[in-house]
Amino acid sequence: MISTDILGRVRVVLSHPSHPGNIGAAARAMKTMGLSQLVLVNPKRFPDAEASARAAGADDILASAKVCTDLDEALAGSVFAVAVTARRRDLGPPSLAAREAAPVLLSHADAGPVSLLFGNETAGLSNAEVQRCQRCAHIASAPDFSSLNLGAAVQVLCYELRLSAFAGVPPTVTPTTPFSSPVATLDETERFYAHLERVMIDTGFHDPRQPKRLLPKLRRLFGRAGLERDEVNILRGILDAVERRLPR
Amino acid sequence: MISTDILGRVRVVLSHPSHPGNIGAAARAMKTMGLSQLVLVNPKRFPDAEASARAAGADDILASAKVCTDLDEALAGSVFAVAVTARRRDLGPPSLAAREAAPVLLSHADAGPVSLLFGNETAGLSNAEVQRCQRCAHIASAPDFSSLNLGAAVQVLCYELRLSAFAGVPPTVTPTTPFSSPVATLDETERFYAHLERVMIDTGFHDPRQPKRLLPKLRRLFGRAGLERDEVNILRGILDAVERRLPR
C-alpha cells in the first residue's frame, strides 16, 4: 500500500559532491517531485551561495540537509538502499533500470526509511559504496556519452519515484516473501557483515591481506535476500556460538 | 516502425533562454540521451563560457546549435511540435504527460523533423508560442513547487524520448543478471543446510531436541536469495573452517 507521503521517506544521499551548484540543483529537483530528505556525505563546499542560487526556492531542503562524515552515518536506520551508477559492476547488487528501480525502492519504504545513493561527479561511486546497497539503478543513456549531470540524474530518479508513487499503479515488484519480522536496518546488517568477517578471519578461512572477492560475494548474497532483523539475530547468534568455541 | 536514429530528427527548441548555463545543461542532457539538434530562439547570451562549462563534453551540440530570431524560423520544416509547459492553457492544444507525449512526438518523426519547445526560465512559454504546437506536454510535479530547472526539464523529456524510441529496452540496458555463477542444485543446497545444522549443533547454538523454528527460518532466508553454486562453496568453506577449529 503506497501512502501519499511515501516520498517523504526517501533519502537522497549525495556522496562527496564536488560542486555546490549540483547540491542546489539536486534540492530543487527533489522538491519539484515532492521529496525532502537530502543527505550529504563529505560535500566539498556546503553550505554555499551557489547551492542556494541553484536551489531556486528549495532552500528549505538545503537548510534541513544532513551533513555526514561517512556513508554509515548517511544510511543509518535505512532499510533499503539503491546505488545510482552508470558503470557495470561485476560483483555489485542486481542492476535495474531507473523505471524499475523506483517501485522497488518504494516497496520497501513501508518498513522504514529508504535511500537513493549518488556518487561524486567525476569518480562516481566506489565499489565499496555500491556494495552497501541492495540494488543498482541505471539511467538509460547514449552509449558514447552516458554521464548525466548529477542534478539531472537526481531529477530523473525523483521523477520516476513520483510517477511510481502517484500513478495509481502499485509497485510492480513486491518482496517475494512477506516479511515476518521487521527488515533489518542497514547498520544492523553492516554489524553482521563485520561480525562475519571477524569470524572468518579467526577461523583462518579469510586472510584480509588476500581478500580476493570474498566479502563482496557474501554481501551480494545477503543483499539479494534482504535480511530481516530476526535473521540477523540468528546469524549473529551462530557467529557468537562459534566464537565461544574457538581456542583462545 | 521506430528506427535507431529517430532521436536525431528531434529538435530541442529553447525560446528566449536567459541563462547560458541552462543552454549548456540542455546540450549535455540531449547528448546523454542521443539527441543532437539544439535550436535557440533569441538566447540572451550565446555562445558563452558558462554554456560550454555546463555542456561538459557536449560541445559539439553547442557548436552546431542553430540560433534563430523567431519561432517561425526555429520550427521551419518541422512536421509536429510539442510545447513543454507546466501551466494549464485554456485554449492550448491537448495536454499530455511527458511519458505519453514522447511516443506521440516520435510517431510523427517518420514524416519529417519534429520539435520539442521549451520556454524562458521565468516567463515560460507565451500563449502564442504554445498555440504554434500540436500538443502540450507536462512533467508530473509537486503542486506547491512545480518549476523544474530548464536543463532538468530537457533531461526528463529527452529521457522519455530515449525510452520511447527504444521501446523501453534501450541498448545500454543490460539484462539484470543476478546470478554470476550457475545456480546451485537443490541437492547441493540441501547438503549445505545439513552442514550448517551440524555446525550449529556442534557449537552449541542449536539443540535438535528443541528445534523451535530455527532451520525453517534459515531455509527461508537462503531460499529467498536463491543460492548460486559459488556461494554454496563459500558458505561450506566457512563451515569447514569452523569445524577444523572446534575442540575435539
pLDDT band, residue B174 (cuts 50/70/90)? very low
Strand B114-118 and strand B37-41: pairing? unpaired
Cα of A45 vs its chain's centroid, Å: 22
What confidence category does residue B178 fall into, taking pLDDT thresholds of 50, 70 and 90? very low
Tell me: pLDDT of B171 over 60: no
Chain B interface, best mutation among A32, A138, A193, A232, by max B CB count within 10 A:
A32
Question: What is the pLDDT, as a whole number, of residue B175?
Answer: 37
Q: What is the pLDDT of residue B32?
A: 97
Q: What is the reported pLDDT for A155?
A: 98
Name the average pLDDT for chain B.
89
Q: Which residue of A has its CA nearest to B4?
A: A142
Q: Which residues of chain A does B152 touch, with a Cβ-Cβ cutoff of 8 Å?
A: 25, 28-29, 32, 151-152, 155
Question: Which comes out higher in pLDDT, residue B146 or B168?
Answer: B146
What does the pLDDT average to over A206-220? 87
Q: Name the residue of chain B whose CA is nearest to A22's CA.
A: B54
- Name the band, by pLDDT with cuts 50, 70 and 90, for residue B93: confident
CB A58 within 8 A of CB A28: yes
Q: How far A84 CA sits from the closest chain B CA (Å)?
A: 13
Top residue of A146, A203, A217, A236 to mutate, by most chain B CBs within 10 Å, is: A203
| % of chain A with per-residue pLDDT over 70 | 93
Q: Among A26-35, A163-172, A198-207, which stretch is predicted with the lowest mean pLDDT? A: A163-172
DSSP β-bridge partners for residue A83: A117, A136
Do the chains contact at B221 and A231, CB–CB below 8 Å?
yes
- Minimal Cα–Cα distance from B236 to chain A, Å? 11
Cβ–Cβ below 8 Å for B170 and A141: yes
Closest CA to A226 of B220, B116, B22, B158: B220
Write the pLDDT tens digit of every residue in B9-46: 999 999 999 999 999 999 999 999 999 999 999 999 99
For A17-75, write each residue's pLDDT tens digit. 999 999 999 999 999 999 999 999 999 999 999 999 999 999 999 999 999 999 999 99
pLDDT value of position A4: 57
Q: Which pLDDT value is given to residue B172?
A: 44
Residues of chain B contacting residue A33, judged by C-beta atoms under 8 Å apart: 140-142
CA-nearest residue to A145 within chain B is B32
The strands making up A114-118's β-sheet, listed across from edge to edge, are A66-68, A37-41, A10-15, A114-118, A80-84, A135-138, A95-97
Q: Do the Cβ atoms of B31 and A56 come within 8 Å?
A: no
- Give me the torsion for CA of B230, B236, B237, B239, rounded to 10°: 160
- Distance (Å, whole) CA A199 – CA A196: 5
CB pairs under 8 A between A and B: 186
Question: Cβ of A163 and B205 within 8 Å?
Answer: no
Question: Helix B186-202 crosses helix B214-225 at what angle (to 10 degrees)?
Answer: 140
CB contact under 8 A, B152 and A230: no
Contact A77, A112 (CB under 8 A): yes
What lies within 8 Å, CB to CB, of B245 at 6+ separation is A202, A203, A204, A245, A246, A247
**Between A179 and A91, whose confidence is greater?**
A91
CA Rg, chain A, in Å? 19
Residue whose C-alpha is closest to residue A54's, from A152, A156, A157: A152
Residues A213-236: what's their mean pLDDT?
91
Query: Domains of chain A (ranges plus CATH)?
Result: 6-166 (3.40.1280.10), 186-245 (1.10.8.590)
What value of ipTM does the predicted structure carry? Answer: 0.81
Tell me the CA end-to-end span of chain A in Å, nearest whole number.
51
Q: Give B241→chain A minimum CA distance, Å.
A: 6
